[in-house]
Amino acid sequence: NAGVTQTPKFQVLKTGQSMTLQCAQDMNHEYMSWYRQDPGMGLRLIHYSVGAGITDQGEVPNGYNVSRSTTEDFPLRLLSAAPSQTSVYFCASSYQDSLKGGYTFGSGTRLTVV
Amino acid sequence: DAKTTQPTSMDCAEGRAANLPCNHSTISGNEYVYWYRQIHSQGPQYIIHGLKNNETNEMASLIITEDRKSSTLILPHATLRDTAVYYCIVKNIGVRSGNTGKLIFGQGTTLQVKP
């Protein structure tokens, strides 16, 4: 199993550009989430999904869109990149049944907006 | 989900046990205690979780007090690679019990293992 795969690993954008961060998992997890982590700071939840076709906002959703058309994929779209969105982005997934364990995280996408 | 309180930082000597405390005085009956850690620049890693009984796996042990208002994560023989930020999270489990799929991180405890 590959686990949670995030692409790209690094990205530099110009202010105003749009892009999609990809996240895929092969563990048949129902739940998926996106987090951002600014330098020296904690993780903040952007958006999350409890299943295909269902998404909801987290703590810091502004400037980001998500969709969940399949169980496996949960892309994060930056509509118009701003320097304030310079961060490391982590995708995570888990079973709906929390007794099966915790979230599995990807290795992150390091985004710089200039 | 109930809030948790953890010390900001702790030190531990290599080879000794690291005991990381967490207070969760408002925990409810449907809420489990989860522990994650984040080694520098990596994605967080799930460690262990429990309801009321002590739990042990290959990574750590989790001791939950009888009143469930606090817990301790124990790394029995800390190594330099255990240097990380450790997060204690209280979370509802099961959709019927209010599990919304949200996992919110606090500030955690920065554990520094020293040679």
Do B46 and A106 make contact, defined as CB atoms within 8 angstroms?
no
Alpha-carbon span B44 to A108, nearest angstrom: 10
What is the pLDDT at residue B98? 54
What is the pLDDT at residue B96? 56
- Single-letter code of the amino acid located at B78: A
A48 contacts A58 by C-beta, under 8 angstroms: yes
Question: Closest Cα of chain B to A13: distance in Å?
Answer: 21
Q: Counting beta carbons within 10 angstroms of the beta carbon of residue A45, is it exposed (0 to 12), middle (13 to 18) or buried (19 or more)?
A: buried
Do A49 and B93 make contact, defined as CB atoms within 8 angstroms?
no
What is the pLDDT at residue B97? 53
Do A107 and B43 make contact, defined as CB atoms within 8 angstroms?
yes
What is the pLDDT at residue A40? 84
- Single-letter code of the amino acid located at A47: H
What is the pLDDT at residue B29? 85
Residues of A in contact with B34 (CB under 8 A): 102
Residues 68-97 of B with CB under 8 A from A: 91, 93-95
Report the side by side order of strands in the sheet with B55-56.
Answer: B18-23, B70-75, B61-64, B55-56
What is the pLDDT at residue A41? 87
Which of B37, B89, B90, B103 to probe by mutation at the A interface, max A CB count within 10 Å? Answer: B103
A81 contacts A113 by C-beta, under 8 angstroms: yes
Residues 48-67 of B with CB under 8 A from A: 49
Do B107 and A42 make contact, defined as CB atoms within 8 angstroms?
yes
- pLDDT (tens, 9 = 90+) of chain B, 115 residues, equals 678 999 999 999 999 999 999 999 999 888 899 999 999 889 999 999 999 989 999 999 999 999 999 999 999 999 999 999 999 999 877 655 555 678 888 899 999 999 9
Q: Is A6 helix (H, G, I), strand (E, B) or coil?
A: strand
Do B93 and A97 make contact, defined as CB atoms within 8 angstroms?
yes
Q: Considering only CA atoms, which of A10, A31, A5, A32 is closest in space to residue A88?
A: A10
Cis upstream peptide for A8 (omega within 30°): yes
- pLDDT (tens, 9 = 90+) of chain A, 114 residues, equals 679 999 999 999 999 999 999 999 999 999 999 999 998 888 999 999 999 999 999 999 999 999 999 999 999 999 999 999 999 999 999 988 777 788 999 999 999 999
What is the pLDDT at residue B99? 59
What is the pLDDT at residue B24? 94
Q: Considering only CA atoms, which of B110, B91, B95 is closest in space to residue B4?
A: B91
What is the pLDDT at residue B95? 57
